[in-house]
Chain A
Amino acid sequence: MKEKTYVEDIDRNIYDFKDEEKDAYKIKAGLTPEIVEQLSKEKHDPAWMQTFRLESLQIYNNMPIPDWGPSIEGLNMDNIVTYVRPNTKMKAKWSDIPEDIKNTFERLGIPQAERKSLAGVGAQYDSELVYHNVRAEVAEKGVVYTDMESALNGEYADMVKKHFMKLVRPNDHKFAALHGAVWSGGSFVYVPPGVSVEIPLQSYFRLNAPGAGQFEHTLIIVDEGADLHFIEGCSAPKYNVANLHAGCVELYVGKNAKLRYSTIENWSKNMYNLNTKRATVAEGGTIEWVSGSFGSHVSYLYPMSILKGRGAKMEFTGVTFAGKGQNLDTGAKVVHAAPDTSSYMNTRSISKDGGISTFRSSVVVTKEAEQAKSAVSCQSLMLDSISRSDTIPAMDIRTRKANVGHEAQIGSISDDAVFYLMSRGMSEEDARACIVSGFADNVSKELPLEYAIEMNNLIRLEMKGSIG
C-alpha cells in the first residue's frame, strides 16, 4: 500500500515558551467606555486621542462582524484584556531590560539580529515597547525610529496627528474600529527626503499574557526619494484561551520613494489575527510587501496599496501555510487611482492536516488610472484531502486603457515534476520534499538571508514515509 508522503507541521517549539506574568498593570477584561477611558488615562493620551478612542469604540459597537471570512465565534471580547503593561519602561539597552523579558527576545534571536543585520530594533512585549534603539549613523541621517507613544507626545506629535488612522479609518471595518479604541504600542518611522536606509529596521511583537490582545500601531512615512526596508515579526506562546491581535499598519510612501515591508507572522494557534495594513503611494513611489503567514488560529490579513500618484508601483509576495486547526484567510488589495500605475501579486499557499487557506484579493482600477497594469498569480498546494484551499480574487476595472491579467492554480504535487527530479538521481521522497520546499521560494528569496533561513527553519518541510 502506498503510504502518503508526510509533511511536518511547522515546528513551533522555538516560539512556544511562556514567561511568568509579572505585569506592572493589567486592565480588566472586556470592552466598555470606562475601560477605554482608563486605558487612555494610563497611556497619558492627549485629549484628541481620548476622544478618538471613544468615537472608535462607538463605531465598533455599531459595526457587524464580517460574514464573508473565517468564523471568529471563539473570540469573546468580554474575555479579552486589551492592555497589559509589562513590568518595565522602554529601554535603549538590552542589559537594562528585566531578565525574563530579555531572555524571551534572546531566544527569539532579536538582539543577535540587531547586532548583525539591522539598523534599528523595536521590541514590544504585550501592550508596550520594552526596547527601542536605532544605530547612531542612521539617526544622524535624520531617520526617526521611535515608539508610537513617544511620537504622539513628543516633537512628532503634529505629524502623528496628521497621519494617525487617516489611511485606515475606524469605520473601515469592525476591527479597525477596535484598534482605534484600544491601540497601544507600535512604532513610528520617518525617513527624510532622499535618505536611503541601507539595512533594515525591525519591530518584533511578542504577546505573552494569556487571554490578552495586542493592538500595536505602526506608522511609517518615507519621504520623497527615500528608501527603507522595514521588517515586522511576531509570535506568542500557545494558551488554551483565545488571544487577539488587531494591529494596524499605515504606510505613507512619498514621491519616488521606496518602502519594502516584510512580515513573518508566526502567532500561536490560539490567536485571532485580525490585522489591517495599508499603504498609500505617491508619484513614482514603490511599495513592496513580503508576507509569510504561518501562525494563528484564524487570520484575516490583506495588505492594501493605494497607488495615488502617476507611475506608482506595488508588489506583493506572500506565502501562507495552514496546518491543523488553522483557517488563514490572506491576500492583498490594490487600488490603481492614477495613470501608469502597476501592481503584481504573487502568492503561494499550502494546506495540510485539515488546515484551511484562502487567497482573497481585489484589484480596482479607477477611471483615472489609464495605462494601469496589473497581474495576479496565485498558486495553492493541497497536501491531503482533509484540508481546504480556496482562491477568491476580484477585479473591478473602470477604464478601457488598462491591462489586467490574472492566473490561479490549485493542485497537488505534480507527478511529472517528481519524475523529472527522479530522472536526475533524486529519490522520490527527496524529490517531493524538494518540490514542497521550493514552493515557498517566492517569499524566502525576497527576504534578507538571515530571515530566509529563519523562514525555512520555520517551515521545516520534512518528508517522511516510504513511497509505495
Chain B
Amino acid sequence: MEQRDEIMINALPSKTWHWLRMNETALSWKPDLALCQTMIEGGKPTEILKETAQKIETGAGSGADPLFRESEEEGYGILADQTNLGETVRVIIGNREEGSEGSLYIQAEKHADITVVETFPAGEMPAKRLAYRTRVHAEAESRVRLVQVFMQGEGTELLNDIGCVCEQDAHFEILQMVIGRGDLYNGIRTDLKGDGSDVQIAIGYLGQKKQLLDMNLVVNHLGKKTNSFIQVDGTLKDVAQKIFRGTIDFKNGSSESKGAETENVLLLGDDVVNKTIPVILCAEEDVEGSHGATIGELDEDTLFYFASRGICAEVAEEIMTKGKMEVLYRKIQDAATETLVEQQLAEVMEYDRA
C-alpha cells in the first residue's frame, strides 16, 4: 500500500470553531515528488538567494515545505531590473510524473516592472499531483504582476503556493483564472512590509462536477499607508465544493492603511458546498478594513431582465458565469494568454454540458 503523509496547509492565521472544518486543510500527499517540467520564455535567469527566498512565507504555509524539497535546491529564478522593464515572461508548468513539484523565485529590483504569466495546462500525461510554489521579492518601487491560468485536467490535484514580500511603494498584482477540471489548493500570502506598498488580488473561478477549490489568502499590513484589495468572483455548479479563506491583518504600526475584500459566489448546483471565511484582524487604530460577500443564485430581477429579452434561466446563468470570467481575463494584458483563457473557458463550459 502506498505510504502517505498527512500535511496541513492553508491554515487560517486566526482559528475558529473546529466543527466548521475551515481552520486548515489536511492533504494526504506523498512528499517525495519529482521535479516538474518548467518552460520559461523570456526573463533574465538569476541565482536564487536561498536565505532571501526561504524567508518569504507562503499562503499554504510551512506545512507544505516537505513537498518542495527538490525545487528548494533546483528551482528557477527570474530577475527583473532596469534592463527588462515591462517585460512579460511566460512560464509553462508541465507534468512529468505521478507527482511533481517545482518552484519559481521572482526577484524584482528597485523600480523594476515585470509580468509573469504562469500556465498550468492539462497536458497529455497529467500528473495526479502537482505542487508549485512562486515566491516574489518586490523591492522598493517595483511592480510585479503575476498571472496564473489553471487548466489542469480532471482527477488531478494542484497545490499552488505563493508568497510575496513588498518593500516600500512596491506594487504586487495577482490575477488567477481557475478554469481547469481538477482540484486546486491555492495559498497566497503577501507581506506589505514597506510603507506605501500595495497588493491587488483578483481571482475568477468556475467550479463544476466534483471539483474542489480550497483557497487561503493572507495579506499582512506591516508598513504605513499600505493598501490591499482582494476580489474573488466565481460560479459553483453540480457538486463542486469551494472554501475561501481571506485574511487582512493590520499589524501594529500599519497606520493609514486600507484593506478590502469582496467575494461574489454564484451558486448554480443543487449540491454545491460553499464555505467562506473573510477575516479582518486589526491591531492598529488608524486603518480602514472592510469585507463583503454575496452568495446565492441569480436574483429574480436579473432573471426577469433576461426573460424579458427571451433568454431562459439556463442561458442567463451561462452568460453571467462567462461574463464574470471575461471581466477578469480581459485584464491579463497579454493577447496570447487572453486567447488561451477564452478557448479554455469555452471548452470547460462545454464540458459542463457534456
Contact = CB atoms under 8 A, between A and B. Distances in A.
A374 to B, nearest CB: 9
B20 A385 contact: no
B290 interface: yes
Nearest to A379: B290
B293 A395 contact: yes
Given A392-B16, A394-B22, A394-B275, A406 B293 contact: yes
Interface stretch (A94-102, A114-122, A125-133, A397-405): A397-405
B20 A396 contact: yes
Given A394-B275, A394-B276, A410 B22 contact: no
Contacts of B285: 382-385, 387, 412
A394 B20 contact: yes
A394 B271 CA distance: 19
B24 to A, nearest CB: 11
A67 B272 contact: no
A169 to B, nearest CB: 13
B293 A390 contact: no
A3 interface: no
B289 A395 contact: no
B295 A397 contact: yes
Interface residues of B, number: 44
B287 A410 contact: yes
Interface stretch (B110-118, B262-270, B318-326): B262-270
A50 interface: no
B288 A396 contact: no
Contacts of A392: 14, 16, 277, 279
Contact of A407 (B14, B274, B290): B290
A67 B288 CA distance: 28
Contacts of A243: none
Nearest to A384: B285
Contacts of B284: 382, 385
Nearest to B299: A403
Interface in A402-460: 402-412
Interface in B62-113: none
B277 A393 contact: yes
A408 B272 CA distance: 25
B278 A388 contact: no
B295 A391 contact: no
Interface in B260-316: 265, 267-297, 299
Contacts of A390: 14, 279-282
Contact of A400 (B22, B272, B283): B272
A68 interface: yes
B255 interface: yes
Contacts of B279: 390-393
Which interface class (under 10, 10 to 19, 20 to 34, 35 or more) fits A? 35 or more
A405 B269 contact: no
Given A385-B283, A407-B291, A412-B286, A401 B297 contact: yes
B99 to A, nearest CB: 31
A404 B299 CA distance: 12
Nearest to B284: A385
A390 B284 CA distance: 11
Interface in B236-259: 250, 252, 255
A384 B265 CA distance: 35
Contacts of B20: 362, 394, 396
A402 B295 contact: yes
B289 A410 contact: yes
A389 interface: yes
A389 B250 CA distance: 10
Contact of A68 (B18, B287, B289): B18
A367 interface: yes
A380 interface: yes
Contacts of B276: 394-395, 397, 406
Contacts of A400: 267-270, 272, 296-297
A360 interface: yes
A320 B106 CA distance: 45
Nearest to B267: A400
Contacts of A389: 282
B289 A409 contact: yes
A141 B268 CA distance: 50
A67 B17 CA distance: 9
B231 interface: no
A408 B23 contact: no
A394 B16 contact: yes
B282 A398 contact: no
Contacts of B296: 397, 400-404
Interface in B18-35: 18, 20, 22-23
Nearest to A360: B16
A397 B294 CA distance: 11
Contacts of A407: 290-293
A397 B274 contact: yes
Contacts of A387: 283, 285
B15 interface: yes
A411 B293 CA distance: 19
A406 B290 contact: no
Contacts of A411: 287-289
Max count, chain A CB within 10 A of own CB: residue among B268, B276, B295:
B295
A410 B282 contact: yes
Given A362-B20, A397-B267, A405 B277 contact: no
Contacts of A383: 285
Nearest to A356: B283
Closest 10 CB pairs of A and B: A68-B15, A400-B267, A410-B289, A404-B295, A403-B296, A406-B293, A385-B285, A382-B285, A397-B274, A394-B277
17 contacts: A385-B283, A388-B282, A396-B20, A396-B275, A397-B295, A398-B273, A400-B268, A400-B297, A402-B295, A402-B297, A405-B295, A406-B293, A407-B291, A408-B280, A409-B288, A410-B280, A411-B287
Given A68-B23, A410-B250, 19 more contacts: A362-B17, A385-B284, A385-B286, A390-B14, A390-B280, A390-B281, A391-B280, A394-B22, A394-B276, A395-B274, A397-B295, A398-B274, A400-B270, A404-B296, A405-B294, A405-B295, A406-B291, A410-B282, A411-B287
